[in-house]
Amino acid sequence: MRKRLTLLLLSSLFVVFAGPGQAEDAKEDEVEKEPGMVIKAGNYIDGAQGRATESFEAFMTRVDGFFTDASTNSDVLTNDSWARIKLDTQAAEGGTFEMDPSVKIRVSLPNTERRFKLLFSTEGDDTDSVGDNIGGAQSTVVRNNQNASAAIRFIRSARKNGNTDVDLGVRQREGDIQYFGRVSLGYRTKLKRRWDFSASNSYWHYNKSGFENRLTFDFRRVLFYNEDFFFRSFSELSWRKGNKGAITGQTLGLYTQFGERKALALEALASYHTALNEDVLERYRGHEFRIRWRHSIWRPWFSYEVWPSVSWLAENDYERLYSLLFRLEMTIGKQ
């Protein structure tokens, strides 16, 4: 059911924002030589994506103006909202095949933020850092529910090395619409020998499912004095109501970028439960090695990713399992 709704949202989003002008754009002035079918198809898709971007930005600007009185061009700030349409295709050893379409939306309301912070996310932890770039993905061994949420941030205290956020909002979680409160603390600093360190703790309380707490530690070090090549260690501990102990996850990786369009990551991941639960019969949940390749091709707003991996997971009796994920992604709005 969720996939059907997502597919409907994908098609509706593109059709609505693309607008009815597609037929008009096809009526171009005749030239001496007609372009080929491939060029025509490319121009048609470029036009549809451009119209979708313009309509999406205009819609977000109107939403921004609804909460403020920015009625003149001098009052309106640039809107950096975007929507990313993804299609994940995953195949595993043994003939398992799965397709998972999704939409990730980032809403930017710069005029509204002069008064209060309005948040909207289709990611589970209300951030756009998770999965946005090749160095920011979470462990696939520890997966969170990716549900939509909306919140108002009415307290924000930012300092040079830290920040404090307090949010109130609603989220679709575990099949229910729940309201929640969240307190988030963050700290970051530069260490010796070109190490960067950051830590954060986020505490949620939902009206139905109770509390959840997530603590993370992130170490990064630039290698060979090249900002596009670095090592990262990401550790996560989480607790939630109804579960005994904590779920821990660890990711170690090397990340590099080739120009503006290509990126590569080599990652090792592992997960461990500090206590057994009704649905957890083994504390060590397994480990995984994977390669992540991302390439923006054809157009700046279109890219693909390939994730070959091999894992030894508890649910598979620690037997070796090969899998491959292929992702197509299209961006509407700011790149």
**Domain residue limits at 187:** 82-333
pLDDT of 51 reads 78
Query: Residue 326's closest CA among 301, 303, 302, 307?
Result: 307
End-to-end CA separation in angstroms for the chain = 30
Q: What is the pLDDT along the chain (335 residues), one digit of tens a residue?
A: 555 545 554 555 444 444 444 444 444 444 445 667 777 777 777 777 777 777 777 776 766 665 555 544 444 556 677 788 888 888 888 777 888 888 777 776 666 665 556 666 665 444 333 223 333 333 333 344 446 677 777 666 677 889 898 888 888 887 789 999 999 999 999 999 899 999 999 999 999 999 999 999 999 999 998 989 999 999 999 999 989 999 999 999 999 999 889 999 999 999 999 999 888 889 999 999 999 999 998 888 899 999 999 999 998 899 999 999 999 998 887 65
Query: Residue 117's closest CA among 149, 83, 155?
Result: 155
Length of the chain: 335
For 3, list phi and psi in degrees, rounded to 5.
Answer: -70, -35
Contact 294, 263 (CB under 8 A): yes
Considering the domain boundaries, does residue 248 fall inside one?
A: yes
What's the domain count of the chain?
1
Considering the domain boundaries, does residue 56 fall inside one?
A: no
Considering the domain boundaries, does residue 43 fall inside one?
A: no
Q: Which one-letter amino acid corresponds to residue 106?
A: R
| 3 state DSSP class of 59 | helix
Considering the domain boundaries, does residue 192 fall inside one?
A: yes
Q: How far apart are CA 260 and CA 263, in angstroms?
A: 8
Considering the domain boundaries, does residue 105 fall inside one?
A: yes
Considering the domain boundaries, does residue 191 fall inside one?
A: yes
| 3 state DSSP class of 61 | helix
pLDDT of 110 reads 65
pLDDT of 129 reads 30
Query: Residue 294's closest CA among 140, 86, 139, 133?
Result: 133
What separation in angstroms does the CA of 303 have from each of 261, 307, 332?
A: 9, 14, 12
For 236, list phi and psi in degrees, rounded to 5.
Answer: -140, 135
Considering the domain boundaries, does residue 253 fall inside one?
A: yes
Q: How far apart are CA 207 and CA 211, in angstroms?
A: 9
Q: Supply the pTM of this predicted model.
A: 0.72
Q: How far apart are CA 29 and CA 64, in angstroms?
A: 38
> At 145, which CATH number?
2.40.160.40
Considering the domain boundaries, does residue 36 fall inside one?
A: no
